[in-house]
Amino acid sequence: MTSETPAIISIRGLTKTYANGFRALKGIDLDVREGEILALLGPNGAGKTTLISTICGLVQPTAGSVTVAGFDIGRDFRKTRELIGLVPQELAIAPFDVVENTVRLSRGLFGLSRNDHYIADLLGRLSLGDKMTNIMQQLSGGMKRRVLIAKALAHEPRILFLDEPTAGVDVELRKDMWDIVEQLRQDGVTIILTTHYIEEAEEIADRVGVIANGELLVIDDKTTLMSRFGKKQLSIELRSPCSSLPESLAEFDVELSSDQSRVIYSYDTRAERTGITALLQALNEAGLQLKDLSTVQSSLEDIFVDLVASNRETGEGVA
Partner 1 sequence: MNIEGVKAIYINEMRRTRKTLLQSVVSPVLSTMLYFVVFGSAIGSRIESVGGVEYGLFIVPGLMMLSLLTQSISNASFGIFFPKFTGTIYEVMSAPLSFFEIILGYVGAAATKSLIIGTIILITAAFFVDLRIAHPVWMVTFLLVTCIAFSLFGFIIGLWADNFEKLQLIPLIVITPLVFLGGSFYSIDMLPEFWQKVTLLNPVVYLISGFRWSFFDVADVSVGLSVTMITGFLLLCVGIVWWMFRTGYKLRS
Nearest residue to 296 (alpha-carbon basis) of 271, 319, 277, 269: 269
Nearest residue to 224 (alpha-carbon basis) of 239, 197, 206: 206
Q: Using CA of residue 282, residue 285, residue 289, residue 290, what is the dihedral sign?
A: positive
Q: 154 or 282, CB closer to partner 1?
A: 154
* Contact status: 77 vs partner 1 (CB under 8 A): yes
* Contact status: 72 vs partner 1 (CB under 8 A): no
Q: 95 or 141, CB closer to partner 1?
A: 95
The residue from 59, 120, 264, 319 that contacts partner 1 (CB under 8 A) is 59
**Largest interatomic CA distance in the chain:** 79
- Cβ neighbours of residue 96 closer than 8 Å, sequence gap 6 or more: 135, 136, 137
- Which residues between 11 and 40 bind partner 1 (CB under 8 A)? 18-19
Quick check: helix, strand or coil at residue 135? strand
The residue from 12, 23, 26, 79 that contacts partner 1 (CB under 8 A) is 79
- Please report how close the Cβ of residue 68 comes to partner 1 at its closest, in angstroms: 12
- Please report how close the Cβ of residue 38 comes to partner 1 at its closest, in angstroms: 19
The residue from 45, 70, 74, 108 that contacts partner 1 (CB under 8 A) is 108
- Burial label for 177, CB within 10 Å (0-12, 13-18, 19+), is buried
* Contact status: 229 vs partner 1 (CB under 8 A): no
Inter-residue contact 215 to 26 (CB < 8 Å): yes
Q: 151 or 185, CB closer to partner 1?
A: 151
Radius of gyration in angstroms for the set of CA atoms belonging to the chain, rounded to a whole number: 24
Considering only the stretches 51-59, 123-131, 212-220, 253-261, report the one whose residues sit in contact with partner 1 under the rule CB under 8 A.
51-59
* Contact status: 101 vs partner 1 (CB under 8 A): yes
Inter-residue contact 273 to 304 (CB < 8 Å): no
* Contact status: 246 vs partner 1 (CB under 8 A): no
What's 197's DSSP letter? -
Considering only the stretches 53-61, 218-226, 234-242, 288-296, report the one whose residues sit in contact with partner 1 under the rule CB under 8 A.
53-61
Task: Give the Cα separation of 49 and 89 in Å (integer).
Answer: 8
The residue from 51, 56, 99, 308 that contacts partner 1 (CB under 8 A) is 56
What's 98's DSSP letter? B
Considering only the stretches 83-91, 183-191, 197-205, 258-266, report the one whose residues sit in contact with partner 1 under the rule CB under 8 A.
83-91
The residue from 2, 3, 96, 273 that contacts partner 1 (CB under 8 A) is 96
Q: Per-residue x/- marks for partner 1, 178-197, CB under 8 A?
A: --------------------
Inter-residue contact 246 to 208 (CB < 8 Å): no
- Please report how close the Cβ of residue 43 comes to partner 1 at its closest, in angstroms: 21
Task: Give the Cα separation of 2 and 36 in Å (integer).
Answer: 10
Q: Tell me how far CA of residue 76 lies from CA of 69, 73, 206, 226, in angstroms.
A: 11, 6, 29, 38
Per DSSP bridges, beta strands 262-268 and 254-256 are antiparallel
Size of the site for partner 1 (CB under 8 A): 33
Q: Per-residue x/- marks for partner 1, 109-148, CB under 8 A?
A: xxxxx-----------------------------------
Considering only the stretches 78-86, 229-237, 248-256, 306-314, report the one whose residues sit in contact with partner 1 under the rule CB under 8 A.
78-86
Per CB under 8 A, residues contacting partner 1 are: 18-19, 56-60, 77-79, 81-82, 84, 86, 88, 90, 92-96, 101, 104-113, 151
